[in-house]
Amino acid sequence: MTTTTITAAGSRRNKKIVVILGATGSGKSKLSVDLASRFFTSSEIINSDKIQVYSGLDITTNKIPLHERENVHHHLLGEFHPSDSHPEFTPSDFRSHGAATISRILSRQNLPIIAGGSNSFIYALLAEKFSPEIDVFSDSDSINSVFSKEVRYNCCFLWVDVSLPVLNQYLVKRVDDMLDSGMFEELAEFFNDPDSDSVSQSGLRKAIGVPEFERYFKIFKNKAVADVRNRVVYEEAVKAVKDNTCQLAQRQLEKILRLRDAAGWDLKRIDGYGSVQGEGGRHKGGGYLGKTGGGTEREDCEAVLDGVGFPPSSSSLVTIPLLSLGCYSFFPISFGR
């Protein structure tokens, strides 16, 4: 390694970023927007969901709508337009594009917030040593030794965690809400496009909802759910979407635990119960930041977010209450104005 490379790596590790992890539906997008719009207003969000990077199928891929982004600049969200020569956005692509985006955000003196559920993308971006040929999330126990314990940036990791039984109930309801919002019609339009079977759509076709509904649209084309036979096949597809979404959440949780236990990354756990059980927010879930109340569970985030460049200031204390288990957890964050 050259002196220039060592210097560049050292400089990069001094760059401070926030990384929000969590299973699908746990409220990562909501938390990232709340932090960026209300408390760290010089922030920009980088999407780390490997399906949401693709342009198209906004409802099916559950991209956060424009009106819920609170004018916060989002990057790598629906920006990738695949082609036959470059059909899929890989972890290596995310490592290079994500790093370039972080550099641009930092050059504007803004705070990068990484948010998304694709832990393979997060690992690819942040690991000091990364090899695209090695799947560090393999089931093999021996693979733990190849995890990079060093990261390329000064990261504040926030892990939004919701117990799987509670999360699964929410995910089932979320699928119903997505269908009510036009997911079926969006998929009908997708399958009606002759290019939907092209190589360039191979990445987007991996989105949950596309393979599950493929049988329906092959049989009935873009017909609405009218008769009994249509309804049976439709309900089978809906059930498959719900089952596969819950299974995805389980896999994502397992990968997060690998990052914590095998890689040794310092993940600060946030109870996201309120984001899926409260009122308001995405798909009728709750929010994170805003109300006050009397909870028994408290975590001091001064030590957490002090690491992203907001040192404690006795003259300026901001308290962020987080809805938790029907009460409120308080995360006091001190920083200078």
Could you tell me the domains of the chain?
A: 3-163+256-334 (3.40.50.300), 168-245 (1.10.287.890)
| Bridge partner list, 328 | 323
Residue 282 to residue 64: CA distance in whole angstroms: 8
Helix axis angle for 119-126 and 228-261, nearest 10°, is 30
Q: What would the mean pLDDT of 117-135 be, rounded to a whole number?
A: 95
What integer pLDDT is reported at residue 199 of this predicted model?
78
Q: What would the mean pLDDT of 41-49 be, rounded to a whole number?
A: 95
Structure tokens that stand for 128 in this block? 């000091």
Q: What value does the mean pLDDT of the chain take? A: 81
Share of the chain above pLDDT 70, in %: 75
Per-residue pLDDT band for 321 (boundaries 50, 70, 90) equals: very low
Name the residue with higher pLDDT: 224 or 57. Answer: 57
Residue 144 has pLDDT above 50, yes or no: yes
What integer pLDDT is reported at residue 8 of this predicted model?
57
Closest CA to 300 of 268, 259, 274: 268
> How would you class 268 by CB atoms within 10 Å of its CB: exposed for 0-12, middle for 13-18, buried for 19 or more?
middle
What integer pLDDT is reported at residue 286 of this predicted model?
54
Rg (CA), the chain: 21
Residue 123 has pLDDT above 90, yes or no: yes
Residue 288 to residue 299: CA distance in whole angstroms: 14
> How would you class 260 by CB atoms within 10 Å of its CB: exposed for 0-12, middle for 13-18, buried for 19 or more?
middle
CB within 8 A of 227, min separation 6: which ones?
none
Mean pLDDT is lowest, of 120-124, 259-263, 301-305, for 301-305
Q: How many residues does the chain have?
A: 337
Per-residue pLDDT band for 200 (boundaries 50, 70, 90) equals: confident
Positions of E strands within the chain = 16-22, 43-47, 74-75, 111-115, 154-161, 267-271, 317-324, 327-334
Q: What would the mean pLDDT of 266-292 be, rounded to a whole number?
A: 65
Residue 117 to residue 252: CA distance in whole angstroms: 7
